[in-house]
Structure 1
Amino acid sequence: MLPDGHPLWEQHTGLDGHRDYPEWGADSDLADVEAFYQPVRGKAKVFLDLLIDHPGRLLTVDDLCRLAGGDVFSGPRSIAGAINGLYRSHKASGRRYPFYWWEGRPTSYAMKLSVAELFRRARANLGE
């Protein structure tokens, strides 16, 4: 498990979704987090929920496919499609994506502990 201050967070490869966008963090962000999370549906919601429910863990594409169960994700392209489903929330929020990724074989994804806690609270507030 990676604590929020671990140097690996700064070695991510998710530049386009992170560059020039502020990090999620302060409690004052809760309304913004709810606005980000509320419209998310389908595979994008499954992807986001998996990261919320496994904070600080680097989850590979294989991990995400296994944790999602069934036939939700078939592989890297399916997960990339799920991430595309978060684009509108990302742009509307004016914040970086709430998760990080590291390209490789396999690509890995993770959400910081503090960000996952905010999203967990927002999800509960929304009754999701």
Structure 2
Amino acid sequence: MRIHLSSVFVDDQEKAVRFYTDVLGFVKKNDVPLGADRWLTVVSPDDRDGTELLLEPDGHPAVKPYKTALVKDGIPATSFAVDDVHAEFDRLRGLGVRFTQEPVEMGPVTTAVLDDTCGNLIQIIRIGPSAS
């Protein structure tokens, strides 16, 4: 068994696909119209057949209070692995990305948390010796 698909709830799919591709660097894999919404997934450019991230509309009534509570408490909706948190932080900040947590080293783990502009906090993480 392996993870095939995970999702993050977004308030605007078009804005989300631009952020997740143009800023974070993912590539669009699926874009299937489903009425007013789309089955819209992105993948890592390094693993185009790997786990897909569904940019899922947040229209269900339970989603917005859930997202609001997570953001209020500073809890990321998901986490993405990077080779160097400090370098990725610098790159993304240079593109205007707002971080709610700058890089923090906790033993073998380094994390930072960013705002995805679509109602979520996203953690970037490196486990293992720091690349910087």
State the TM-score, normalizing by the size of structure 1: 0.28
Structure with larger RCO (C-alpha < 8 A, sep 6+): 1
Greater fraction of residues in helix: 1
